[in-house]
Amino acid sequence: MNHDSTAGSTSRSRSALAGRKRLSRLKSYIPLYLMLAPALIYVLINNYLPMGGLVLAFKQFNAGKGIFGSDWNHFANFDFLLKNKNLPIFLRNTICYNLAFIAVNLIVGVFLALMITEIRGKKMRQFSQSIILFPFVVSIVIVSYMVRGFLDYNNGMFNAVIKAFGGAPVNWYMEKKYWPGILVFVSTWKGVGYGSLLYIAALLGIDPSLYEAAAISGASRIQQIRYISLPHLIPTCVTVSLLSVGHIFNSDFGLFYQVPQNSGILSPVTQTIDTFVYKAMATNVGMSAAASFFQSAGGFLLILLFNGLARRVSRENALF
Amino acid sequence: MIRSKQQRRLELFAYAVMIIVAVMILYPFLLLFMSSLTDEVTLSLNGYSVIPKKFSLKAYVYIWDARDTIFRAYAVTICVTIVGTLLNVLISALAAYPLSLQRLPGKSVLSFIFLFTMLFNGGMVSTYMTYTTIFHIKNTYLALLVPGLLFSPVNCIIIRTYFRTSVPEELYDAAKIDGASEWKTFFHVALPMSVPIFVTIGIFAGLAYWNDWFNGMLYVTDRTKFSIQQVLNIMVSNIQYLSQFAGTGRFVYGDVPSVSVRMAIAFVAFLPILCLYPFLQKYFRSGIALGAVKG
């Protein structure tokens, strides 16, 4: 065989073959990209276009000209926002309520998880897990009706009880001092099951031989919880909390909008960035956009920061 | 293992705690339901109570009289929930399949496009303006459907991971040898093997649609397009909304049992979830374990 004479043509035909192969392989990817297309197009419309729309914060919005056609006014919207005397109040509310929710949800969630895993009866354990998650599936509008059932001035159950004992009825929707407590309670009532189930999963993942060994060496059940259960929960607790702190500029809009039932008097203790943005949207789009921009940008930095921290604690629980 | 006395005492304590918690969680639901069955005069005299002095079905009779509005809103909610849930699952599953294949060029960039939406968003104002000034969805049914269509783009990533771990590679190879196209492989191999994840994602999507009042409040002012949650939302601030049906049926103006009707509509809106919850709760729990879908 004469290798030399055929080498050139084979390599040429080989590369042509490889090219055709690559082409046909690329062709075979077309259906795969088509499958991705609906989700990609949707995300572009629903998520990425609004990201671009954040330029609104630096514009004088004009409905006729649209988001991208409106004229720039640079930092005028931010000036307006910073001059708003309520800004420190709703910023404080957003951050403080979120910190309170995180702390209370953590403590109550861990406590309930420890209680539920202490229960040996299978039925009762299943029932408990179903019950604590139940409020999670109710819409916040309906929750606000339930809260009203307790707090309504004329018909509320609390006032009925107070009156039955000869007290003076309380106008709950007019009294600021009760609301931090009420909102923390409602938030915990509705949301604690979610975290608690994560903690239960973590507790059930602990190697049972650890408890057996501890029991043999004479550790009481309380000691076992203190020295085995709790340390094993720490990674989950820390990551759940860190991820929540990453969302500290985002309040639970429904909770703050629905549950206080739009009572203006309560707004110093119930107004958050989200409810402010929503209400300002009707009167001053620019200022509302500026607040919204601050929320998105600040939220982005916080999530990066706290996810980074969460990742150090436990990789699998971090977002990315 | 022999259980110590302390352990048994602790368990007893745990039972007590869970019973108290169960009462705290269920009592408001009971209060809501019983109030809807309470006579209006009793309500204004004695307030809401779980053991009403005088029962009345008037609120439900009134809902029946107002069925043109209430049932219509109910139908809107049901249709939006069904269509939205199916589209949600289909779109995310379709995207997840290619992403799950190691050989797809650019898959990490594509995954990142979905993941990034968790980190950064345009916020309420910008999203509202995009939908109203560019896509003009105000006062259309699309307003109830589209903003939640991929209620969490990260679900694509969760389904992708599920495909990778639960569909054996050999099945794909076998399908390929049989000459199946990618579409066929997706519909006949990947889909049937991953039903549990679709049920889980679908249930969260369905719940989000059923409970959604926010998009309605933002985009819909046309009363014929209200969902049931939006009717509830309107009734908080607008008691007249309820009285509009008086005079047409058995009720005259001023006779509308407005307090109990609110509670009755809230209960009716919640009823389907109440009925389905016992069957679906294990999927909620597995969904939470996947870390998927925080409301």
Tell me, yes or no, whether B213 lies in a domain: yes
Are A132 and B25 in contact (CB < 8 Å)?
yes
pLDDT on residue A223: 92
For residue A3, the distance in angstroms to the closest alpha carbon of chain B comes to 36
Q: Which residue of B has its CA nearest to A297?
A: B120
Query: CB–CB of A155 and B10 under 8 A?
Result: no
Query: Which candidate, A87, A85, A93, A88, places its Cα nearest to that of A269?
Result: A93
Does residue A262 sit in helix, strand or coil?
A: coil
What are the tens digits of pLDDT across the range B257-287? 778 888 999 999 999 999 999 999 889 888 8
- In terms of CA atoms, which chain A residue is nearest residue B229? A141
| Ramachandran quadrant class, A207 (left: phi over 0; alpha: psi -120 to 50; beta: rest) | beta
Select from B10, B122, B232 the Cβ nearest to the Cβ of A141.
Answer: B232
pLDDT at residue number A1: 41
> Taking CB atoms and an 8 Å cutoff, what residues of chain B touch A198?
288-289
Which of A32, A249, A253 should one mutate to test binding to chain B, selecting the residue with the greatest count of B CBs within 10 A? A32
* pLDDT band, very low/low/confident/very high, at A10 (cuts 50, 70, 90): low
Both tokens of residue B143? 């307003």
Nearest chain B residue to A143 by CA: give it. Answer: B28
Is B249 contained in some domain?
no
Task: Please give the Cα distance from A194 to A101 (Å, whole number).
Answer: 13
- What distance in Å separates residue A303's CA from the closest CA in chain B? 6
B218 pLDDT more than 70: yes
The tokens describing A160, both together, are: 């009925």
Contact, B155 vs B293, CB < 8 A? yes
Contacting residues of A for B124, CB less than 8 Å apart: 274, 277-278, 281, 292
Cross-chain Cβ contact A145/B181 below 8 Å: no
Query: Residue B32 and residue A152: Cβ atoms within 8 Å?
Result: no
Q: What is the ipTM of this complex?
A: 0.91
Instruction: Specify if B23 maps to a domain.
Output: no
The per-residue pLDDT for A24 is 80
Helix (H, G, I), strand (E, B) or coil at A279: helix
Does B25 reside within a domain? Answer: no
CATH number of the domain to which B123 belongs: 1.10.3720.10
For residue range A172-187, what is the model confidence (pLDDT) as tens digits?
999 999 999 999 999 9
Q: How many domains does chain B have?
A: 1
Model confidence at A154, in pLDDT bands (50, 70, 90)? confident
3-state secondary structure chain B: CCCCHHHHHHHHHHHHHHHHHHHHHHHHHHHHHHHHCECHHHHHHHCCCCCCCCECCHHHHHHHHCHHHHHHHHHHHHHHHHHHHHHHHHHHHHHHHHHHCCCCCCHHHHHHHHHHHHHCCCHHHHHHHHHHHHCCCCCCCHHHHHHHCCCCCHHHHHHHHHHHHHCCHHHHHHHHHCCCCHHHHHHHHHHHHCHHHHHHHHHHHHHHHHCCCHHHHHHCCCHHHCCHHHHHHHHHHCCHHHHCCCCCCCCCCCCCCHHHHHHHHHHHHHHHHHHHHHHHHHHHHHHHHCCCCCC
A101-127 exposure pattern, b = at least 16 Cβ within 10 A, e = fewer: bbebbbebbbebbbbbbbbeeeebbee
Domain interval for residue B164: 73-244
Residue A32: is its pLDDT beyond 80?
yes
pLDDT in tens, B3-20: 678 888 999 999 999 999
Tell me the domains of chain A and their CATH numbers.
78-317 (1.10.3720.10)
Determine, for residues B47 and A292 on separate chains, whether the beta-carbon distance falls below 8 Å.
no
Confidence of residue B248 (pLDDT cuts 50, 70, 90): low
Residue B233 counted as domain residue: yes
How many Å apart are CA A299 and CA A304, to the nearest integer?
Answer: 9
Q: Is residue B266 part of a domain?
A: no
DSSP sequence for A204-238: HTS-HHHHHHHHHTT--HHHHIIIIIHHHHHHHHH
- Whether residue B129 and residue A29 make contact (CB cut-off 8 A), yes or no, is no
**At which residue do the structure tokens 């409106």 appear?**
A70
Rounded average pLDDT over A47-59: 93
User: Measuring CA to CA, how many Å separate B21 from each of A132, B18, B50, B288?
Assistant: 8, 5, 18, 21
CA distance B60 to chain A (A): 17
Higher-pLDDT residue of B37 and B67 is B37
Residue to mutate among A33, A107, A141, with most B CBs inside 10 A, is A141
Residue-level pLDDT at B250: 66
Residue B132 C-alpha, separation from nearest chain A C-alpha, in angstroms? 10
Q: How far is A45 from chain B (nearest CA, A)?
A: 8
**Residue B80 in domain:** yes
Nearest to B126 among A50, A116, A124 (CB): A50
Shortest Cα distance, chain A CAs vs residue B250, angstroms: 25
Q: How far is B246 from chain A (nearest CA, A)?
A: 22
Out of A31, A155, A317, the one facing B181 most closely (by C-beta) is A31
pLDDT at B203: 93
Confidence of residue B295 (pLDDT cuts 50, 70, 90): very low
Tokens read off for B123:
């916020």
Query: Mean pLDDT in chain A?
Result: 89
- Interface A-B, measured as beta-carbon pairs within 8 A, has a size of 282
How is residue A310 written in tokens? 């969460």
Going by C-alpha positions, the residue among B288, B276, B8, B17 that lies closest to residue A196 is B288
Chain A residue at shortest CA distance from B183: A31
Tell me which of A47, A56, A112 to substitute to probe the interface with B (most B C-beta atoms closer than 10 Å). A47
* Residue whose C-alpha is closest to residue B197's, from B293, B267, B276, B120: B293
pLDDT at residue number A306: 87
Query: Does residue A21 carry a pLDDT above 80?
Result: no
Cross-chain residue pair B115–A292, CB shorter than 8 Å: no
Q: Report if residue B189 sits inside a domain.
A: yes
CA–CA dist B31, B46 (Å, integer): 13
